[in-house]
Amino acid sequence: MCYHIFAFIAGFVLDLLIGDPHFIPHPVRLIGSLISFLDKRLNCDAGYNISEKKLNLIKYKRGMLLAFTVIFATFAISVIIIVAALKKLNAAQQNQNSDRCARNPSA
C-alpha cells in the first residue's frame, strides 16, 4: 500500500514539474478539433426549406455520422500506432537475438 501512495505522489510531482509538452498536441485536443471541424461541415443548415421534423432527422443522421467518424478515426489511428510500435519492438528483439547469437555461436 505504501508503494502505491509513493507512486501516486511521485507521478503528481513529476506532472507538476514537467507536465505535457506544449509542442506535442494532446490526443484529446486533436479529437476535439476533429469534432469541431466535422460539426461545422455537417451541421450548416443554410438554405434548408423543409419541415422541422425532417430537419431534426437530418441532424440526427449527421450526428450519427460525426460520432461514427470520430470513433473510427480514433480507433484506426490507435491501431496504426500500436502495430508500428509492435513491429519496432519485434525488430529490436530480433536484432538483440542476432547479436547474442553472433557473440555466442554455441548457444
How do residues 47-56 score in pLDDT, each as one tens digit? 667 888 888 8
| Listed residue (63, 20, 26) closest to 41, CA to CA | 63
Alpha helices (H) along 1-107: 2-17, 27-42, 52-103
Per-residue pLDDT band for 2 (boundaries 50, 70, 90) equals: confident
Cα→Cα distances 34→1, 69, 90, Å: 41, 9, 32
Retrieve residue 31's grid coordinates: 479529437
pLDDT at 47: 60
Cα→Cα distances 61→3, 54, 56, Å: 50, 11, 9
For a pLDDT cut of 90, what percent of the chain falls above it?
48
Retrieve residue 63's grid coordinates: 450526428
| Listed residue (103, 41, 102) closest to 69, CA to CA | 41
Mean pLDDT value across the chain? 86
